[in-house]
């Protein structure tokens, strides 16, 4: 049994752990897809665990994400896909002001606490960086993607998730952030892709592939404010997996992917560093009687 395994049946396994600590124990050549979203750098915080993604330095955040996806791409089935939903962050001034984040600045800067009652979609990080100027975008998605490309993995697309209901921002000299990025990586040029399930109806009534901008309102759930756009990730899941394929979600959160895996008869492995989300996930499984009766 892997450390932190809290649930297992013939189709679903759940882990309460830092995902980087369970990587060695994940099965080789079984995972077909990963559809996930790490805690964004310098934004929300769900636990006081120093291993939670998002509270380390920018450089460590990039390294840890790259370690996670490169290990998974190496372990997955050939032709497997990873979709990472991620947003960029703005560097800050080093001054805390009324911000909810409190950062220790300096070379090895990291977050020193957060006012959990005031977590919003604040886009700037209060850390001061040696090179990156206050107000500059950090380029987080690109830093991660380019490292993976240089390691020999295929960065197939950057899908834009456009939100028609963006969080208002108190800025006067740029547009509100209204999109997130969905980075698609694969470990092989030929990969599973159910084209018709990704397609839309064209002007002539025939199916065609969609534009790379997918529009969907954000859907915060009670108890978890940073959830996936369900319709978008459902479409991605169906496009790159078939029934009984194994899906891994390293950042389980409110269990969006778990629900979709059960609904569409995929096998599922999930992990989260926050115990409450595992308790919630086990409730989701118990409420569902159907998957327990499906043969492995």
Ligand X SMILES: C[S@@+](CC[C@H](N)C(=O)[O-])C[C@H]1O[C@@H](n2cnc3c(N)ncnc32)[C@H](O)[C@@H]1O
Residues at the contact surface with ligand X, assessed by CB under 6 A: 18-19, 37-39, 46, 51-53, 224, 226-228, 250-251, 253-254, 256, 271-274, 277
Cβ-based nearer residue to ligand X, 37 or 124: 37
Q: Could you tell me the smallest distance in angstroms from the CB atom of residue 51 to ligand X?
A: 5
Cβ-based nearer residue to ligand X, 228 or 248: 228
Q: Could you tell me the smallest distance in angstroms from the CB atom of residue 208 to ligand X?
A: 29
Q: Which secondary structure element, helix H or strand E, spans residue 75, and what is its range?
A: helix 58-75
Contact between residue 200 and residue 182 where contact means Cβ atoms under 8 Å apart:
no
Cβ-based nearer residue to ligand X, 59 or 209: 59
Contact between residue 271 and residue 5 where contact means Cβ atoms under 8 Å apart:
no
CA distance 248 to 246: 7
Q: Could you tell me the smallest distance in angstroms from the CB atom of residue 195 to ligand X?
A: 25
Query: How many H helices and E strands in the chain?
Result: 6, 13
Cβ-based nearer residue to ligand X, 53 or 103: 53
Count of CB atoms situated within 10 Å of the CB of 82: 26
Q: Could you tell me the smallest distance in angstroms from the CB atom of residue 186 to ligand X?
A: 20
Long-range CB contact pairs, 146-153, < 8 A, 24+: 147/62, 147/66, 148/66, 148/69, 148/70, 148/73, 148/185, 151/66, 151/70, 153/69, 153/70, 153/73, 153/185, 153/186, 153/187
Q: Could you tell me the smallest distance in angstroms from the CB atom of residue 228 to ligand X?
A: 4
Cβ-based nearer residue to ligand X, 45 or 126: 45
Enumerate the β-bridge partners of residue 221. Answer: 224
Cβ-proximal residue to ligand X, closest one: 253
Cβ-based nearer residue to ligand X, 37 or 123: 37
| Lookup result for tokens 């996670």 | 68
> What are the CA-CA distances from residue 128 to residues 110, 117, 180, 267 (Å)?
10, 23, 24, 43
Cβ-based nearer residue to ligand X, 2 or 154: 2
Q: Could you tell me the smallest distance in angstroms from the CB atom of residue 206 to ligand X?
A: 33
Q: Could you tell me the smallest distance in angstroms from the CB atom of residue 116 to ligand X?
A: 13
Contact between residue 188 and residue 154 where contact means Cβ atoms under 8 Å apart:
yes
Cβ-based nearer residue to ligand X, 128 or 224: 224
Q: Could you tell me the smallest distance in angstroms from the CB atom of residue 18 to ligand X?
A: 4
CA distance 203 to 213: 18
Quick one: the chain helix, strand, coil %, rounded to 5?
25, 25, 50
């Amino acid at each position: 049994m892997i450390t932190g395994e809290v649930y297992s049946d013939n189709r679903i396994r759940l882990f309460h752990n830092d995902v980087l600590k369970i990587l060695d124990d994940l099965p080789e050549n079984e995972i077909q897809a990963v559809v996930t979203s790490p805690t964004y750098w310098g934004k929300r915080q769900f636990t006081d665990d120093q291993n939670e993604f998002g509270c380390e330095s920018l450089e460590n955040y990039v390294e840890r994400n790259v370690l996670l996806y490169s290990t998974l791409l190496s372990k997955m089935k050939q032709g497997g896909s990873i979709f990472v939903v991620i947003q960029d962050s703005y560097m800050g001034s080093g001054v805390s002001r009324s911000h909810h984040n409190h950062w220790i600045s300096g070379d090895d800067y990291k977050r020193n606490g957060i006012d959990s009652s005031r977590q919003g979609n604040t886009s700037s990080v209060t850390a001061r960086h040696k090179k990156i100027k206050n107000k500059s975008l950090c380029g987080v998605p690109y830093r991660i993607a380019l490292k993976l490309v240089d390691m020999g993995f295929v960065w197939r697309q950057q899908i834009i998730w456009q939100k028609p209901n963006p969080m208002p921002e108190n800025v006067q000299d740029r547009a509100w952030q209204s999109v997130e990025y969905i980075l698609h990586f694969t470990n092989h040029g030929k990969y599973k892709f159910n084209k018709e399930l990704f397609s839309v109806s064209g002007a002539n009534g025939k199916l065609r592939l969609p534009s790379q901008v997918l529009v969907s309102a954000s859907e915060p759930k009670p108890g978890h404010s940073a959830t996936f756009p369900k319709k978008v990730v459902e479409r991605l899941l169906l496009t790159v997996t078939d029934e009984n394929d194994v899906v891994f979600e390293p950042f389980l959160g409110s269990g969006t992917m778990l629900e979709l895996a059960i609904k569409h008869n995929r096998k599922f492995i999930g992990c989260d560093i926050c115990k409450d989300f595992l308790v919630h996930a086990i409730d989701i499984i118990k409420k569902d009687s159907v998957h327990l009766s499906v043969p492995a």
